[in-house]
Structure 1
Amino acid sequence: MNIRFLPLSAFLFLAAGTAYGQAGSLGKDAATVQANMATIASGSSLRVEGATSLGVVGSPYADSRWLTALLTLNNGMPLAPVPLKYDVLQHRLLMLDAKHPKDSLLLDDHQVVRFVLQEPASARGPARQREFRRFREAPQQHHRPDYVEVLHEGSYTLLKHYVKTVKKADYYGAYSQDRRTDEIEDKSTYYLLSPEARLAPVKLNLKTLQSAAPPLAAALKTTADTQKPKTEAQWVSVLQAADPKPAK
Protein backbone atom coordinates (compact mmCIF):
# COMPACT_ATOMS: atom_id res chain seq x y z
CA MET A 1 0.00 0.00 0.00
CA ASN A 2 1.38 3.41 -0.99
CA ILE A 3 0.96 6.59 1.01
CA ARG A 4 0.47 10.03 -0.51
CA PHE A 5 0.44 13.23 1.55
CA LEU A 6 -2.84 15.15 1.41
CA PRO A 7 -2.70 18.81 2.54
CA LEU A 8 -5.66 19.88 4.64
CA SER A 9 -6.85 22.37 2.01
CA ALA A 10 -7.07 19.55 -0.56
CA PHE A 11 -8.77 17.30 1.98
CA LEU A 12 -11.44 19.92 2.64
CA PHE A 13 -12.18 20.12 -1.07
CA LEU A 14 -12.26 16.35 -1.60
CA ALA A 15 -14.20 15.46 1.54
CA ALA A 16 -16.85 18.16 1.49
CA GLY A 17 -17.07 18.61 -2.25
CA THR A 18 -17.09 22.39 -1.70
CA ALA A 19 -14.33 24.98 -1.65
CA TYR A 20 -14.34 26.61 1.76
CA GLY A 21 -11.98 29.39 0.67
CA GLN A 22 -8.25 29.79 0.69
CA ALA A 23 -6.51 27.83 3.45
CA GLY A 24 -4.69 29.85 6.08
CA SER A 25 -1.02 29.61 6.94
CA LEU A 26 -0.01 26.15 8.13
CA GLY A 27 2.41 27.62 10.66
CA LYS A 28 5.92 26.55 11.64
CA ASP A 29 4.88 23.30 13.35
CA ALA A 30 2.85 22.10 10.36
CA ALA A 31 5.68 23.05 8.00
CA THR A 32 8.07 20.96 10.08
CA VAL A 33 5.70 18.00 9.97
CA GLN A 34 5.43 18.30 6.20
CA ALA A 35 9.21 18.43 5.84
CA ASN A 36 9.69 15.38 8.03
CA MET A 37 7.16 13.46 5.94
CA ALA A 38 8.78 14.27 2.59
CA THR A 39 9.61 10.62 1.91
CA ILE A 40 6.04 9.58 2.61
CA ALA A 41 4.74 12.28 0.30
CA SER A 42 6.78 10.78 -2.51
CA GLY A 43 4.87 7.50 -2.19
CA SER A 44 6.90 5.20 0.05
CA SER A 45 5.16 2.10 1.41
CA LEU A 46 3.58 1.90 4.84
CA ARG A 47 5.73 -0.52 6.76
CA VAL A 48 7.91 -0.76 9.83
CA GLU A 49 11.38 -1.79 8.82
CA GLY A 50 14.43 -3.12 10.59
CA ALA A 51 17.77 -4.00 9.09
CA THR A 52 17.48 -7.64 10.16
CA SER A 53 13.70 -8.01 10.13
CA LEU A 54 11.97 -10.70 8.08
CA GLY A 55 8.56 -9.07 8.47
CA VAL A 56 6.25 -7.40 10.97
CA VAL A 57 3.81 -8.97 13.43
CA GLY A 58 1.04 -6.85 14.84
CA SER A 59 -0.91 -3.80 13.70
CA PRO A 60 0.04 -0.11 13.99
CA TYR A 61 -3.63 0.95 13.96
CA ALA A 62 -6.18 1.65 16.67
CA ASP A 63 -8.51 -0.37 14.43
CA SER A 64 -7.25 -2.13 11.32
CA ARG A 65 -10.53 -1.70 9.45
CA TRP A 66 -11.37 1.22 7.20
CA LEU A 67 -14.20 2.84 9.15
CA THR A 68 -16.24 5.83 8.11
CA ALA A 69 -15.21 8.84 10.20
CA LEU A 70 -16.70 12.26 10.92
CA LEU A 71 -13.97 14.83 11.57
CA THR A 72 -14.22 18.19 13.33
CA LEU A 73 -11.74 21.06 12.90
CA ASN A 74 -10.54 23.50 15.54
CA ASN A 75 -12.96 26.10 14.16
CA GLY A 76 -15.85 23.74 14.86
CA MET A 77 -16.36 22.91 11.18
CA PRO A 78 -17.56 19.30 10.62
CA LEU A 79 -16.35 17.55 7.47
CA ALA A 80 -18.05 15.09 5.16
CA PRO A 81 -17.62 11.39 6.13
CA VAL A 82 -14.44 9.68 4.92
CA PRO A 83 -12.96 6.15 5.33
CA LEU A 84 -10.22 6.53 7.97
CA LYS A 85 -7.58 4.71 9.98
CA TYR A 86 -5.66 6.03 12.97
CA ASP A 87 -2.01 4.94 12.71
CA VAL A 88 -1.00 4.99 16.39
CA LEU A 89 2.59 3.95 15.80
CA GLN A 90 3.39 6.87 13.53
CA HIS A 91 0.85 9.34 14.99
CA ARG A 92 -1.07 10.00 11.80
CA LEU A 93 -4.47 9.73 10.15
CA LEU A 94 -4.83 7.84 6.87
CA MET A 95 -7.72 8.24 4.47
CA LEU A 96 -8.68 5.68 1.82
CA ASP A 97 -8.16 6.99 -1.70
CA ALA A 98 -11.50 6.30 -3.42
CA LYS A 99 -9.93 6.60 -6.88
CA HIS A 100 -7.03 4.27 -6.04
CA PRO A 101 -8.27 1.71 -3.45
CA LYS A 102 -4.77 0.27 -2.98
CA ASP A 103 -3.45 3.67 -1.92
CA SER A 104 -3.89 5.72 1.24
CA LEU A 105 -3.83 9.47 1.64
CA LEU A 106 -1.83 10.86 4.55
CA LEU A 107 -4.03 13.53 6.07
CA ASP A 108 -2.50 16.78 7.28
CA ASP A 109 -4.47 16.78 10.53
CA HIS A 110 -2.99 19.75 12.39
CA GLN A 111 -6.44 21.43 12.51
CA VAL A 112 -8.35 18.25 13.44
CA VAL A 113 -9.44 18.18 17.08
CA ARG A 114 -11.84 15.23 16.99
CA PHE A 115 -13.06 12.36 14.85
CA VAL A 116 -15.83 9.83 15.35
CA LEU A 117 -15.56 6.35 13.84
CA GLN A 118 -18.81 4.76 12.71
CA GLU A 119 -18.46 1.09 13.66
CA PRO A 120 -21.09 -1.12 12.00
CA ALA A 121 -22.92 -3.93 13.79
CA SER A 122 -20.98 -7.20 13.79
CA ALA A 123 -20.30 -10.30 15.86
CA ARG A 124 -18.44 -7.96 18.24
CA GLY A 125 -21.63 -6.11 19.10
CA PRO A 126 -24.18 -3.55 17.88
CA ALA A 127 -23.33 -0.54 15.74
CA ARG A 128 -21.75 2.28 17.70
CA GLN A 129 -19.94 5.59 17.42
CA ARG A 130 -16.38 5.77 18.74
CA GLU A 131 -15.16 9.24 19.65
CA PHE A 132 -11.47 10.16 19.49
CA ARG A 133 -10.16 13.55 20.60
CA ARG A 134 -6.84 15.15 21.36
CA PHE A 135 -5.26 14.12 24.67
CA ARG A 136 -5.14 17.69 25.97
CA GLU A 137 -4.89 16.60 29.64
CA ALA A 138 -1.91 14.28 29.09
CA PRO A 139 0.65 14.41 31.93
CA GLN A 140 3.48 14.49 29.38
CA GLN A 141 3.45 17.37 26.91
CA HIS A 142 4.56 15.27 23.93
CA HIS A 143 1.43 13.11 24.30
CA ARG A 144 -1.02 16.02 24.08
CA PRO A 145 -1.26 15.97 20.26
CA ASP A 146 -2.16 12.24 20.44
CA TYR A 147 -5.75 11.08 20.10
CA VAL A 148 -7.53 9.28 22.94
CA GLU A 149 -10.74 7.29 22.66
CA VAL A 150 -13.55 8.41 24.94
CA LEU A 151 -14.87 5.09 26.27
CA HIS A 152 -17.26 6.56 28.84
CA GLU A 153 -18.48 10.06 29.62
CA GLY A 154 -20.57 10.74 32.71
CA SER A 155 -19.50 12.83 35.69
CA TYR A 156 -16.22 10.94 35.16
CA THR A 157 -14.63 10.28 31.77
CA LEU A 158 -12.77 7.10 30.85
CA LEU A 159 -10.09 7.67 28.22
CA LYS A 160 -8.00 5.13 26.33
CA HIS A 161 -4.59 6.33 25.19
CA TYR A 162 -3.39 4.11 22.39
CA VAL A 163 0.37 3.49 22.43
CA LYS A 164 2.26 1.15 20.10
CA THR A 165 5.93 0.22 20.30
CA VAL A 166 8.19 -1.90 18.09
CA LYS A 167 10.28 -4.77 19.38
CA LYS A 168 12.98 -5.33 16.79
CA ALA A 169 13.88 -8.70 15.31
CA ASP A 170 16.66 -10.46 17.23
CA TYR A 171 18.08 -13.66 15.83
CA TYR A 172 21.81 -13.01 15.49
CA GLY A 173 24.42 -13.99 18.05
CA ALA A 174 24.72 -16.49 20.85
CA TYR A 175 22.32 -14.65 23.14
CA SER A 176 19.65 -13.80 20.60
CA GLN A 177 15.97 -14.57 21.29
CA ASP A 178 15.44 -16.11 17.83
CA ARG A 179 12.81 -13.46 17.07
CA ARG A 180 12.84 -13.16 13.29
CA THR A 181 10.20 -10.47 12.85
CA ASP A 182 9.64 -7.00 14.21
CA GLU A 183 6.74 -7.09 16.67
CA ILE A 184 4.33 -4.19 17.16
CA GLU A 185 3.27 -4.30 20.81
CA ASP A 186 0.19 -2.68 22.34
CA LYS A 187 1.10 -0.50 25.35
CA SER A 188 -2.23 1.31 25.62
CA THR A 189 -3.22 2.84 28.95
CA TYR A 190 -6.49 3.99 30.55
CA TYR A 191 -7.16 7.22 32.43
CA LEU A 192 -10.11 8.39 34.49
CA LEU A 193 -10.81 12.12 34.37
CA SER A 194 -12.67 13.45 37.43
CA PRO A 195 -15.27 16.26 37.45
CA GLU A 196 -12.51 18.43 38.96
CA ALA A 197 -10.32 17.72 35.89
CA ARG A 198 -7.93 15.43 37.80
CA LEU A 199 -6.50 12.72 35.57
CA ALA A 200 -5.64 9.35 37.12
CA PRO A 201 -4.10 6.36 35.34
CA VAL A 202 -6.24 3.29 36.00
CA LYS A 203 -6.44 -0.40 35.24
CA LEU A 204 -9.77 -1.94 34.42
CA ASN A 205 -10.41 -3.51 37.79
CA LEU A 206 -12.62 -2.61 40.72
CA LYS A 207 -9.87 -1.52 43.11
CA THR A 208 -8.23 1.08 40.87
CA LEU A 209 -11.51 2.47 39.57
CA GLN A 210 -12.84 2.88 43.12
CA SER A 211 -9.61 4.58 44.15
CA ALA A 212 -9.80 7.02 41.22
CA ALA A 213 -13.53 7.72 41.76
CA PRO A 214 -14.38 7.47 45.50
CA PRO A 215 -17.95 8.84 45.07
CA LEU A 216 -18.68 5.93 42.73
CA ALA A 217 -17.10 3.23 44.93
CA ALA A 218 -20.33 1.69 46.21
CA ALA A 219 -22.13 1.79 42.87
CA LEU A 220 -19.09 0.33 41.09
CA LYS A 221 -18.94 -2.58 43.54
CA THR A 222 -22.65 -3.32 43.29
CA THR A 223 -22.60 -3.29 39.49
CA ALA A 224 -19.33 -5.23 39.22
CA ASP A 225 -20.62 -7.90 41.60
CA THR A 226 -23.66 -8.31 39.37
CA GLN A 227 -22.00 -8.14 35.94
CA LYS A 228 -18.67 -9.91 36.71
CA PRO A 229 -16.79 -7.80 34.12
CA LYS A 230 -13.63 -9.05 32.43
CA THR A 231 -13.33 -7.29 29.07
CA GLU A 232 -12.92 -3.60 28.26
CA ALA A 233 -16.49 -3.40 26.96
CA GLN A 234 -17.83 -5.00 30.15
CA TRP A 235 -15.96 -2.53 32.38
CA VAL A 236 -17.30 0.33 30.29
CA SER A 237 -20.78 -1.07 30.89
CA VAL A 238 -20.09 -1.09 34.64
CA LEU A 239 -19.04 2.57 34.54
CA GLN A 240 -22.09 3.51 32.50
CA ALA A 241 -24.35 1.90 35.09
CA ALA A 242 -22.51 3.43 38.09
CA ASP A 243 -22.02 6.85 36.48
CA PRO A 244 -24.77 7.52 33.93
CA LYS A 245 -24.38 10.37 31.48
CA PRO A 246 -26.05 13.53 32.82
CA ALA A 247 -29.25 14.53 31.06
CA LYS A 248 -28.88 17.60 28.85
Structure 2
Amino acid sequence: MSTRLLLSATLLSVATTTYAQQTAVPAIEQTGAAAQANINALGRGDAAIVRGASSAGMIGTPYVDNRWLLARITLSSKVPLAPVPLKYDVLHHRLLMRPLNSTADSLQLDDRLVTYFELEEPVAGTTQSRRRVFRRFEEAPVAYQRTDYVEVLHENRYSLLKRYVKVLRKANSAGPYSKGDSYDTLEDKNVYFVRRLDATLVPTKLTLKALQTAAPELATALKQSAAAQAAKTDAEWAAVFASLDPK
Protein backbone atom coordinates (compact mmCIF):
# COMPACT_ATOMS: atom_id res chain seq x y z
CA MET A 1 0.00 0.00 0.00
CA SER A 2 1.48 3.35 -1.00
CA THR A 3 1.92 6.22 1.44
CA ARG A 4 1.59 9.84 0.46
CA LEU A 5 3.71 12.57 2.02
CA LEU A 6 1.80 15.84 2.14
CA LEU A 7 4.01 18.94 2.09
CA SER A 8 2.95 22.40 3.20
CA ALA A 9 4.89 25.56 3.98
CA THR A 10 4.84 24.82 7.69
CA LEU A 11 4.28 21.11 8.10
CA LEU A 12 4.78 17.64 6.68
CA SER A 13 2.11 15.00 7.04
CA VAL A 14 1.79 11.39 6.01
CA ALA A 15 -1.29 9.96 4.34
CA THR A 16 -2.07 6.49 3.06
CA THR A 17 -3.73 5.69 -0.26
CA THR A 18 -7.49 5.64 -0.76
CA TYR A 19 -7.59 2.21 0.85
CA ALA A 20 -6.60 3.53 4.26
CA GLN A 21 -7.57 6.31 6.60
CA GLN A 22 -5.63 9.58 6.35
CA THR A 23 -3.34 10.51 9.25
CA ALA A 24 -1.24 13.59 9.93
CA VAL A 25 2.15 14.37 11.45
CA PRO A 26 2.59 17.44 13.66
CA ALA A 27 4.45 20.43 12.23
CA ILE A 28 8.23 19.97 12.15
CA GLU A 29 11.30 21.97 11.30
CA GLN A 30 12.21 21.64 7.62
CA THR A 31 15.91 22.42 7.71
CA GLY A 32 18.95 21.08 9.50
CA ALA A 33 19.43 17.92 11.53
CA ALA A 34 15.91 18.08 13.00
CA ALA A 35 14.41 18.00 9.51
CA GLN A 36 16.46 14.98 8.50
CA ALA A 37 15.54 13.15 11.69
CA ASN A 38 11.85 13.76 11.07
CA ILE A 39 12.05 12.73 7.41
CA ASN A 40 13.77 9.50 8.46
CA ALA A 41 11.03 8.84 11.01
CA LEU A 42 8.10 9.24 8.61
CA GLY A 43 5.67 6.36 8.08
CA ARG A 44 6.53 3.54 5.75
CA GLY A 45 4.76 2.09 2.73
CA ASP A 46 5.33 0.37 -0.57
CA ALA A 47 5.08 2.63 -3.61
CA ALA A 48 5.55 -0.13 -6.18
CA ILE A 49 3.80 0.18 -9.54
CA VAL A 50 0.74 -2.05 -9.95
CA ARG A 51 0.78 -4.03 -13.19
CA GLY A 52 -2.20 -5.49 -15.01
CA ALA A 53 -2.91 -9.19 -14.85
CA SER A 54 -2.36 -9.50 -18.61
CA SER A 55 1.31 -8.60 -18.27
CA ALA A 56 4.17 -10.84 -17.11
CA GLY A 57 6.15 -7.75 -16.19
CA MET A 58 7.55 -4.58 -17.67
CA ILE A 59 10.41 -3.75 -20.00
CA GLY A 60 11.82 -0.29 -19.39
CA THR A 61 11.57 2.00 -16.40
CA PRO A 62 9.07 4.68 -15.36
CA TYR A 63 11.85 6.68 -13.68
CA VAL A 64 14.27 9.29 -14.92
CA ASP A 65 16.88 7.23 -13.06
CA ASN A 66 16.31 3.86 -11.42
CA ARG A 67 18.70 4.70 -8.60
CA TRP A 68 17.76 6.47 -5.39
CA LEU A 69 19.65 9.73 -5.87
CA LEU A 70 20.14 12.23 -3.08
CA ALA A 71 17.94 15.25 -3.77
CA ARG A 72 17.49 18.76 -2.45
CA ILE A 73 13.85 19.85 -2.66
CA THR A 74 12.72 23.47 -2.53
CA LEU A 75 9.13 24.51 -1.82
CA SER A 76 7.27 27.56 -3.08
CA SER A 77 7.94 29.08 0.35
CA LYS A 78 11.67 28.98 -0.62
CA VAL A 79 12.32 26.78 2.42
CA PRO A 80 14.63 23.89 1.45
CA LEU A 81 14.00 20.43 2.86
CA ALA A 82 16.76 18.26 4.22
CA PRO A 83 18.44 16.12 1.51
CA VAL A 84 16.60 12.86 0.91
CA PRO A 85 16.86 9.96 -1.60
CA LEU A 86 14.44 10.60 -4.46
CA LYS A 87 13.07 9.12 -7.69
CA TYR A 88 11.11 10.99 -10.35
CA ASP A 89 8.41 8.67 -11.70
CA VAL A 90 7.69 10.18 -15.12
CA LEU A 91 4.97 7.72 -16.10
CA HIS A 92 2.82 8.41 -13.05
CA HIS A 93 3.83 12.08 -12.66
CA ARG A 94 5.02 11.69 -9.09
CA LEU A 95 8.03 12.01 -6.82
CA LEU A 96 9.00 9.14 -4.55
CA MET A 97 11.28 9.50 -1.55
CA ARG A 98 12.90 7.07 0.85
CA PRO A 99 14.04 7.80 4.40
CA LEU A 100 17.81 7.54 4.71
CA ASN A 101 17.60 4.69 7.20
CA SER A 102 15.43 2.53 4.92
CA THR A 103 16.44 0.15 2.15
CA ALA A 104 13.04 -0.77 0.74
CA ASP A 105 10.21 1.46 1.90
CA SER A 106 9.26 4.57 -0.02
CA LEU A 107 6.84 7.46 0.23
CA GLN A 108 4.98 9.38 -2.43
CA LEU A 109 5.26 13.14 -2.13
CA ASP A 110 2.29 15.37 -2.65
CA ASP A 111 4.44 17.84 -4.56
CA ARG A 112 1.96 20.67 -5.04
CA LEU A 113 4.28 23.06 -3.19
CA VAL A 114 7.50 21.79 -4.77
CA THR A 115 8.97 24.30 -7.23
CA TYR A 116 12.15 22.45 -8.10
CA PHE A 117 14.53 19.73 -6.97
CA GLU A 118 18.19 18.96 -7.55
CA LEU A 119 19.50 15.43 -7.96
CA GLU A 120 23.07 14.55 -7.08
CA GLU A 121 24.18 11.99 -9.69
CA PRO A 122 27.46 10.16 -8.92
CA VAL A 123 30.09 10.48 -11.64
CA ALA A 124 31.40 7.02 -12.49
CA GLY A 125 34.97 6.36 -11.42
CA THR A 126 35.17 9.44 -9.20
CA THR A 127 34.00 10.63 -5.80
CA GLN A 128 32.28 13.62 -7.40
CA SER A 129 28.65 14.09 -8.37
CA ARG A 130 26.81 15.97 -11.11
CA ARG A 131 23.99 18.30 -10.14
CA ARG A 132 20.82 17.83 -12.18
CA VAL A 133 18.14 20.51 -11.80
CA PHE A 134 14.44 19.91 -12.41
CA ARG A 135 11.83 22.66 -12.29
CA ARG A 136 8.19 23.10 -13.23
CA PHE A 137 7.51 23.38 -16.95
CA GLU A 138 5.83 26.75 -16.46
CA GLU A 139 6.18 27.85 -20.10
CA ALA A 140 4.72 24.65 -21.54
CA PRO A 141 2.53 25.28 -24.61
CA VAL A 142 -0.09 22.84 -23.26
CA ALA A 143 -1.67 23.81 -19.94
CA TYR A 144 -1.75 20.35 -18.35
CA GLN A 145 2.03 19.98 -18.86
CA ARG A 146 2.84 23.02 -16.73
CA THR A 147 2.80 21.01 -13.52
CA ASP A 148 5.29 18.52 -14.98
CA TYR A 149 9.02 18.84 -14.39
CA VAL A 150 11.66 19.54 -17.00
CA GLU A 151 15.36 19.02 -16.58
CA VAL A 152 17.26 22.27 -16.98
CA LEU A 153 20.28 21.49 -19.13
CA HIS A 154 21.08 25.20 -19.44
CA GLU A 155 19.35 28.37 -18.31
CA ASN A 156 20.41 31.95 -18.82
CA ARG A 157 19.35 34.21 -21.71
CA TYR A 158 18.55 30.99 -23.52
CA SER A 159 17.20 27.84 -21.89
CA LEU A 160 17.80 24.27 -23.02
CA LEU A 161 15.15 22.06 -21.43
CA LYS A 162 14.37 18.35 -21.50
CA ARG A 163 10.87 17.06 -20.89
CA TYR A 164 10.77 13.37 -20.05
CA VAL A 165 7.94 11.39 -21.61
CA LYS A 166 7.20 7.69 -21.07
CA VAL A 167 4.75 5.85 -23.33
CA LEU A 168 3.29 2.57 -22.07
CA ARG A 169 2.73 -0.19 -24.64
CA LYS A 170 0.53 -2.85 -23.08
CA ALA A 171 1.27 -6.55 -23.53
CA ASN A 172 -0.60 -8.22 -26.38
CA SER A 173 -0.40 -11.96 -25.82
CA ALA A 174 -3.91 -13.00 -26.84
CA GLY A 175 -6.20 -12.59 -29.82
CA PRO A 176 -5.86 -13.09 -33.56
CA TYR A 177 -3.47 -10.14 -33.99
CA SER A 178 -1.24 -10.98 -31.05
CA LYS A 179 2.52 -10.88 -31.50
CA GLY A 180 2.94 -13.08 -28.44
CA ASP A 181 4.18 -10.19 -26.28
CA SER A 182 3.76 -10.97 -22.58
CA TYR A 183 5.50 -7.86 -21.23
CA ASP A 184 4.38 -4.26 -21.04
CA THR A 185 6.94 -1.94 -22.59
CA LEU A 186 7.84 1.61 -21.62
CA GLU A 187 9.25 3.71 -24.43
CA ASP A 188 11.17 6.97 -24.01
CA LYS A 189 9.69 9.81 -26.08
CA ASN A 190 11.63 12.69 -24.54
CA VAL A 191 11.33 16.15 -26.05
CA TYR A 192 13.90 18.97 -25.98
CA PHE A 193 13.06 22.67 -26.05
CA VAL A 194 14.96 25.90 -26.56
CA ARG A 195 13.54 29.03 -25.01
CA ARG A 196 14.67 31.99 -27.07
CA LEU A 197 15.50 35.55 -26.06
CA ASP A 198 11.90 36.60 -26.73
CA ALA A 199 10.63 33.79 -24.44
CA THR A 200 9.40 31.77 -27.43
CA LEU A 201 9.56 28.06 -26.70
CA VAL A 202 10.71 25.90 -29.62
CA PRO A 203 10.77 22.07 -29.66
CA THR A 204 14.04 20.77 -31.04
CA LYS A 205 16.42 17.84 -31.33
CA LEU A 206 19.98 17.64 -30.04
CA THR A 207 21.60 18.05 -33.43
CA LEU A 208 23.62 20.96 -34.73
CA LYS A 209 21.21 21.75 -37.55
CA ALA A 210 18.11 21.58 -35.34
CA LEU A 211 19.63 23.78 -32.64
CA GLN A 212 20.77 26.35 -35.21
CA THR A 213 17.15 26.58 -36.35
CA ALA A 214 15.81 26.74 -32.79
CA ALA A 215 18.30 29.47 -31.78
CA PRO A 216 19.07 31.41 -35.01
CA GLU A 217 21.00 34.11 -33.14
CA LEU A 218 23.46 31.39 -32.08
CA ALA A 219 23.58 29.66 -35.48
CA THR A 220 26.96 31.09 -36.53
CA ALA A 221 28.54 30.53 -33.13
CA LEU A 222 27.26 26.95 -33.08
CA LYS A 223 28.68 26.30 -36.54
CA GLN A 224 32.08 27.64 -35.51
CA SER A 225 32.16 25.71 -32.21
CA ALA A 226 34.28 22.56 -32.28
CA ALA A 227 32.43 21.33 -29.19
CA ALA A 228 29.08 21.76 -30.96
CA GLN A 229 30.35 19.84 -33.96
CA ALA A 230 31.16 16.87 -31.73
CA ALA A 231 28.38 17.12 -29.12
CA LYS A 232 25.92 14.24 -28.78
CA THR A 233 24.87 13.83 -25.14
CA ASP A 234 22.77 16.06 -22.88
CA ALA A 235 25.84 17.00 -20.84
CA GLU A 236 27.88 17.87 -23.94
CA TRP A 237 25.16 20.12 -25.37
CA ALA A 238 24.68 21.72 -21.96
CA ALA A 239 28.40 22.57 -21.97
CA VAL A 240 28.08 24.04 -25.48
CA PHE A 241 25.23 26.34 -24.44
CA ALA A 242 27.09 27.30 -21.27
CA SER A 243 30.09 28.40 -23.39
CA LEU A 244 27.97 30.37 -25.89
CA ASP A 245 25.54 31.83 -23.34
CA PRO A 246 27.62 32.30 -20.17
CA LYS A 247 26.11 33.58 -16.96
Query: Could you state the TM-score of these two structures normalised by the residue count of structure 2?
Result: 0.81
Q: Residue 150 of structure 1 is aligned with which of 144, 148, 152?
A: 152
Uncovered stretches (5+) of structure 1, i.e. residues with no partner? 20-40
Residue 73 (1) aligns with residue 75 (2): yes
Deviations 1:28-83 (A, max 9, x none): xxxxxxxxxxxxx9956512412310101111111111111111111111111111
The match for 1:29 is none
Distance between the aligned counterparts of 2:205 and 2:83, measured in 1? Answer: 33
Q: Among the aligned pairs, what percent are the same residue? A: 48
Cα gap change, 1:15 to 1:82, in 2 (>3 Å): farther
Cα gap change, 1:116 to 1:146, in 2 (>3 Å): same
Cα gap change, 1:97 to 1:78, in 2 (>3 Å): closer
Greater Cα shift, 210-219 or 42-51: 42-51
Where does structure 1 differ by over 6 angstroms across 4 or more consecutive aligned residues? none
Deviations 1:129-185 (A, max 9, x none): 111000000011110000100001232110000111210001212321221100111
Distance between the aligned counterparts of 2:228 and 2:132, measured in 1? Answer: 26
The match for 1:103 is 105
The match for 1:231 is 233
Following superposition, the deviation at residue 238 of structure 1 comes to: 2.4
Uncovered stretches (5+) of structure 2, i.e. residues with no partner? 14-26, 36-42
The match for 1:84 is 86
SS in 2 for 1:173: coil
Greater Cα shift, 230-239 or 158-167: 230-239
Q: Residue 129 of structure 1 is aligned with which of 117, 128, 131?
A: 131
The match for 1:3 is 2
The match for 2:182 is 180
Higher fraction of helix: 1
Following superposition, the deviation at residue 120 of structure 1 comes to: 2.1
Question: Aligned partner of 1:187: which letter?
Answer: K
Greater Cα shift, 93-102 or 113-122: 93-102
Distance between the aligned counterparts of 1:79 and 1:193, measured in 2? Answer: 29
